[in-house]
Amino acid sequence: MPREYQFPFELRHLVYFHEVARHLHFRKAAESLALAQPALSRQIAQLEKALGAPLFVRSRRRVDLTPAGRVLAERVEPLLRLLNRMPRDVRAVADGEVGHVRVAFTGLAMATVLPKILHAFHLRHPGIRLELTESPTSAQMVALQSGDLACGFFHPDAATVGLNTKLLLRERNGVLLPATHLLAKRAALKLLDLAMVPLVLFPRTHNPGFYDRILAAFAMVGITPRIAEEVWPRANAVGLIRAGLGATFMTPSEAQHLPPEIVFRRLRGPAPESRLVLGWRQSPNPEPALAAFLAVALASPRTRD
């Protein structure tokens, strides 16, 4: 593969040219460049030779740009401005002042820790853009492994090899019912009460660990639940319950701000437990922007139940 770019001049030539074009005066330009005038003259001559076109009209007493020189000046000006910003911008990325981080989350995270973290993070790092996507646990695993994702808030029931994780909270699930349901009259329920109630769950593939633990909890009390629908994101289950399709599990945090036709009931005795972890890829060279996000996310006070 041959080299892609080759230039008959150097940055120096452009800077010198720009300075002469600004002053239209070799000596003054040389002085402002802290350079001897002959050196400047020679560099400009080199540039003209390299471009194959005269850039200045030297009439002993006056220097003027040629049309070619004017075109070059117009192009060089923005170029130098871009180059001028470059070191600062690169440094800013290296120092983690700007950048962007892809973050995935589940509904539980958004209902609990995530808003506080986002608030604190944007205060501390206004230059870092977050790319937030609600995504099921299993998809987060894949994306984290492949590097598509920098970090994720998910349920820790999947394989987390090669990942750092930190448990953020654990919450017992309660039950969401239509307010008109018979069971809605009770203040608290037991799993056994749900034996004949159609359940709205989520596709098993999206979080097999949690799914299986729900079934295990039922098995512990000797029943096999009837699963009516599977929906994702889980917040959509609310709509189905409202339509009278059955009941679903949800943590108290997620069950805030329910429509009046739906009620939340605690579970006594065995109950599925939701755990929320923050996970990110182990790396010897963490991206500065990710490091900044993790620092804030891990420092935020835990929301416990």
Q: Can you tell me which residue has the tokens 């159609």?
A: 198
Residue 131 is a binding residue for its own copies (CB under 8 A): no
Sheet containing strand 163-172, edge to edge, reads 128-134, 99-105, 151-154, 273-281, 163-172
Q: Can you tell me which residue has the tokens 């440094």?
A: 91
- Whether residue 160 contacts residue 141, with contact meaning beta carbons closer than 8 Å, is answered with yes
* Closer by beta carbon to DNA, 25 or else 166: 25
* Closer by beta carbon to its own copies, 19 or else 157: 19
Among candidates 121, 113, 124, which has minimal Cα distance to 274? 113
* Closer by beta carbon to its own copies, 9 or else 264: 9
Residue 288 is a binding residue for its own copies (CB under 8 A): yes
The least distance separating its own copies from the CB of residue 101, rounded to whole angstroms, comes to 10
Residue 6 is a binding residue for its own copies (CB under 8 A): yes
**Contacts of DNA in 4-33 (CB under 7 A):** 10, 12, 25-27
Separation CA 91–CA 97 (nearest Å):
9
Residue 235 is a binding residue for its own copies (CB under 8 A): no
* Closer by beta carbon to its own copies, 218 or else 293: 293
The least distance separating DNA from the CB of residue 85, rounded to whole angstroms, comes to 23
Q: Pick from its own copies, DNA, none: which does 75 bind, CB < 5 to 8 A by kind?
A: its own copies
Q: What is the DSSP string of 11-48?
A: HHHHHHHHHHHHHT-HHHHHHHTT--HHHHHHHHHHHH
Beta pairing, strands 273-281 & 151-154: antiparallel
- Compute the half-sphere exposure of residue 202: CA atoms within 13 Å on the CB side of its CA: 25
* Closer by beta carbon to DNA, 59 or else 224: 59
Separation CA 300–CA 148 (nearest Å):
25
* Closer by beta carbon to DNA, 37 or else 165: 37
Q: What are the residues binding its own copies (CB under 8 A)? A: 1-12, 15, 18-19, 22-23, 28, 32-34, 50-55, 57, 59, 66-68, 71-72, 75, 79-80, 82-84, 86-87, 89-91, 93-95, 99, 284-285, 287-289
Q: What are the residues binding DNA (CB under 7 A)? A: 10, 12, 25-27, 34-39, 41-46, 58-61, 63
